[in-house]
Chain A
Amino acid sequence: MRNRAIFLLFCAICAIAIPGCGEPAKSIVLWHAYRGREESAIELLARRYEEQHPGVTVDLLSIPFDAYSSKLGAAIPRAHGPDLFIDANERLGVYLRDGLVAPVGDALPDAEVGAYDKTSVDAVTLGGVRYAVPLTNKCLALYVNDALVKSDPKSIEEISRLRASLPDDVYPLAYEAPNSFFHAPFLYAFGGRMLDDRGRFAFQGEAAAKSIDFVRDLTLARVVPVEPDGALVTRLFASGHAATAINGPWMMSELEGTVSYHVIPLPPIEAAASSSTHGEMKPLLTVEGVMLSPTGAEREEVRAFARYLAGEDSALLRAGLGQQVVARSDVWQNDLIASDLKLKAFHDAARAAVPMPTSPAMRAAWVPANQAIVKVLRGDAKSVDALEEAAARFADAMRPQPPPPSPAPLLVALGAILLGLAFYAVRRAQNPSFRVAVRKSMPAYRYVAHAAIVIFALVIVPLAAGALASFFAGTETHPLYVGMTNYVRILTARGGPLLGHGSFYLTLLVTVLWTLANVTLHVAIGLVLGVALSRPLLRFKAIYRVLLILPWAVPSYVTALAWKGMFHRQFGAVNAILKALGAEPVSWFSHFSTAFAANVATNVWLGFPFMMVVTLGALTSIPKDVLEAAEVDGATRLQRFFKVTLPLLKPTLLPAVVLGAVWTFNMFNVVFLVSGGEPDDSTDILVSDAYRWAFTRDAQYGYAAAYAVLIFFLLLGGTRLLGKVAGSEEGIT
């Protein structure tokens, strides 16, 4: 037994210690987030380059999109990052601020600029310096279903007139209406814009309001489906349920082998035509380019590889194999490429497009803009009001940093705490009986020492470091000491009403409600199923048990996404069931109560098996004679359950319930993946709010850390209180 355990341990150590492969001496490391055909093209290019340049090796790393920029931000400053990476021009502002990119230098010499699309080069030029070599242009265009649309529509209005002729379940136009990236062409058609020249939020005013109202009318007239996400747009168009679709070139690969279609630049909006504009739909242009990390930019072979990747041969391959809308004008002279009419249409559309602003402010602009659009489309607010709110939220997220106060008070406080602890330790050490107790504890310390070290190093220190971060503001690379400002701002709801939108207290209220609802349902369902399953003589017991445990066995990020899909208003299974039962479909994510219910349903689904198993186990420890005694005493079935079973289960269930409550309080996955805070961040709980502050709202890491510290103290106080109420604290710990 012992030998086997040691052998297993040995195997495990070997398995992790064996490196995946030896680090080659001087390879070029390229990071990208491509998949499918684009990935194949880039891989082929790398292999070709290696063949042409013996001695050079190129390491490609495809990274999940969600982790991409935070990984760059973490890795490059510590020299673990790539030499070069492919990313969109809109991130350049942030990367430049954080020192993640260097000028491309001779990777794009002045002499070659002429070979590239001018808009593309402009898009990667900041302050006259080029920070990327453009690879491809990505912008929106109109996909047209050949079977459903006879002639190319000349205007959006022409598309909406298709409504009359199309069957009921076919939409004239499908696009991701709630997403401001997709809304931007409408905005520009009405003469509006996202950011002004100085990087301030400009999604407001008459043009913006008109553009949203126009889209709202389209949805009301059932020209555009309600609240589609990207997957749904693809699904509708691919299955012939949408006559046209506004989408980027990335959809082409997913349409292979489905419908016959072609692509044209976005048509204008007649209603938007005025003296100043012609109502042209101008999509935002994302230019993907090769960017060089500061260390990579110093290496000549890296720059040479960047030049190669953007070069003419490479561009031909990327266009042909990778279906990329390459950003070189010379390649489009090539017949082979120019004959791909779909690609060419995207290239034409790119010429009319507006380069995506590179300002870091853009990152904070998307979410408020999306929320404003959604609110109007759902009829929850007038466009003017919604836009005003969006502007306020943008300002809230982008507020300037406070002046750095003196760190003295914090240092004094820390010193005082340490001094107090030291004083306490000395006083106890002087107590002889304490010293005897410590001596007697020595054998036990031998057992716990390594665990204590592991927990101290891996848990306590990182947590303490995280807590310390709450006294700072600014980015991770440029921290700025701000004292208690983060806490003051949180606890004063950033100067807004205490129960206003996004205030700490409102979110806390939602979190408490969330925890209560989940824990109650977990325990109730777990108890009922546990009791039902523990009946003697129940048939199929084993089968029931296995099936009921399944939700626990499947990774929660998968099932959370499946639940989100099931709650879709038009195409979700839940509404299909409601319809089959004769009920009205519900727009789940447009009201707090229903969105909250959707989150709770998902989390209950994920969590009930645990409570069921705990209950099953606890029930085995209840002696049967006690229940029989109660039965003889004349207790009914219900009375027996509530008066005997439940109190006897309490000591076993309580620790599980407390731990479950703590986990639920911090259950970030479900809220983030299912409702995503919708509607309007109202279903966010404290942790998901903290996550937003850390990662989507201008990376206010310190602010998020302050949230975490507050959550910690709330939970600590809460469990203590619960311990006092429910019995001894020992029962919990």
Chain B
Amino acid sequence: MSNASRSERNRLEFLESGVIHALLIAAVLFALYPLLWVVSIALSPGGISTSHGALPLPTHPSLWNFHALLGKGSSARAWLFGRQLANSIIVAVATAVTAIGVAIPAAYALARFDFVGAKTGMRTLLATQMFPAVASAVPLYLLLDALHLLDSRAGLVLVYASTAVPFAIFQLRGAFLAIPVDIEEAAMVDGATRTEAFWRVVLPAARPAIAVTALYAFMSAYNEFILAATLLSRESAFTLPVVLQRYVGEHGAAWGIFAAGAIVVSLPVMALFYYAQRHLVSGLTAGGVKG
């Protein structure tokens, strides 16, 4: 290859990487812009941002909204807020654990065994994803009422599990399919029972997918507010999204506090995402491939 064409090629590659960086930077701006507005509103006292420009800059930046969110120095209010944050996390974690716990054996069976009804089961699962939730809210309420689980975290977890379990089964079935049967058989030849092989080999190998599925279940429960607002009737039992909803009322809304709350709510999820992002790709793939 001559020197001229090599430099030509280098130039092209440089150009190409420039184009790709430009593309990615544009995408990042697109992704961040609305979030910056939320931050800007949260930092503007009273949530009133008078900058009519295109740049999301807060006016008179202060932490007043965060202060108001935490009860303006009232320790009882701050304590309540902490408790509600704890509620959110407990309910979301419990949902994730329940969904994963229920889904793992079922997904494993669907991936490994050929049994009568497996296909129908999978179709039914897919079908449940198609029915709009609008129609099942009231029956769910009645069901919880019958179980005396209204206004309890357990009831809320049950309701969230109803959407999280089918999805978790989908994801995990895919993950188990992607794990070679060989290693399970190797474990059994090595002296494991089927159950031991499952616990000691299959589950650890599926860990990324399980983590991602759990993250999903966690997020969906953590962000839900319509059902939570309907089912919960004690302030100390509220989850954070319900609390945030209160700042959007009939007449006007306390957007500043709402935005501040939104940031507080998002932080744990963002931390989880940051922690899990390495697994996110591999976990999703394992789940998505060879469905």
Residues of B within 8 A of A457 (CB): 143
Contact A573 B166 (CB under 8 A): no
Beta-carbon contacts under 8 Å, A118-169 to B: none
Interface size class of B (residues with CB under 8 A): 35 or more
Residues of B within 8 A of A25 (CB): none
The verdict on A573 contacting B37 (CB below 8 Å), with A448-B121, A655-B288 known, is yes
Q: Confirm or deny: A532 has a beta carbon within 8 angstroms of a beta carbon on chain B.
A: yes
Contact A234 B115 (CB under 8 A): no
Q: Confirm or deny: B241 has a beta carbon within 8 angstroms of a beta carbon on chain A.
A: yes
Q: Which residue of A lies closest to B59 (CB)?
A: A239
Q: Confirm or deny: A715 has a beta carbon within 8 angstroms of a beta carbon on chain B.
A: yes
Question: A50 CA to B258 CA in the complex, in Å?
Answer: 32
Contact B285 A576 (CB under 8 A): no
Beta-carbon contacts under 8 Å, B241-261 to A: 241-242, 244-255, 258-259
A551 CB, nearest partner CB in chain B, Å: 5
A257 CB, nearest partner CB in chain B, Å: 8
Chain B residues near A (Cβ < 8 Å): 17, 20-21, 23-24, 27-28, 30-35, 37-38, 41, 46-50, 52-54, 56, 87, 90-91, 93-94, 97-98, 101-103, 105-106, 108-110, 113, 115-119, 121-136, 138-143, 145, 150-154, 157-159, 161-163, 165-166, 169-170, 174, 199-200, 203-204, 219, 222-223, 225-226, 229-230, 233-237, 241-242, 244-255, 258-259, 262, 265-266, 269-270, 272-274, 277, 280-286, 288-291
Contact A63 B288 (CB under 8 A): no
Question: A21 CA to B235 CA in the complex, in Å?
Answer: 11
Q: Which residue of B lies closest to A690 (CB)?
A: B134
The verdict on A462 contacting B162 (CB below 8 Å), with A558-B266, A711-B130 known, is yes
Binds B, one of A64-72, A302-310, A315-323, A349-357: A64-72
Contact B132 A666 (CB under 8 A): yes
Residues of A within 8 A of B97 (CB): 8-9, 12
Q: Which residue of A lies closest to B167 (CB)?
A: A659
Partner of B241, one of A15, A81, A557, A694: A557
Jot down 9 A-B pairs with beta carbons below 8 A, ordered by A.
A12-B94, A75-B233, A234-B48, A241-B50, A458-B140, A459-B128, A549-B280, A566-B33, A605-B31
Contact B253 A231 (CB under 8 A): yes
The verdict on A66 contacting B245 (CB below 8 Å), with A605-B30, A613-B280 known, is yes
Contact B285 A80 (CB under 8 A): no
Question: A549 CA to B258 CA in the complex, in Å?
Answer: 22
Question: A71 CA to B157 CA in the complex, in Å?
Answer: 19
Beta-carbon contacts under 8 Å, A640-682 to B: 651-656, 659, 662-663, 665-666, 668
The verdict on A618 contacting B285 (CB below 8 Å), with A64-B229, A666-B132 known, is yes
The verdict on A250 contacting B251 (CB below 8 Å), with A440-B115, A455-B166, A547-B31 known, is yes
Pick the most buried of B20, B49, B134: most chain A CB atoms within 10 A of its CB: B134
Specify the main secondary structure of chain A where it touches its partner: helix
Binds B, one of A270-278, A374-382, A701-709: A701-709
Question: A559 CA to B223 CA in the complex, in Å?
Answer: 12
Q: Confirm or deny: A115 has a beta carbon within 8 angstroms of a beta carbon on chain B.
A: no
Question: A588 CA to B23 CA in the complex, in Å?
Answer: 26
Partner of A235, one of B50, B124, B230: B50
**When each residue 238-258 of chain A gets 1 if its CB lies under 8 Å from chain B and 0 otherwise, what string results?**
110100000110110010011
* For the complex of A and B, 3 pairs with smallest distance between CB atoms: A617-B285, A466-B135, A441-B115
Partner of A559, one of B34, B54, B98, B274: B34
Question: A462 CA to B103 CA in the complex, in Å?
Answer: 19
The verdict on A556 contacting B223 (CB below 8 Å), with A16-B154, A448-B106, A712-B130 known, is yes
Residues of A within 8 A of B127 (CB): 712, 716
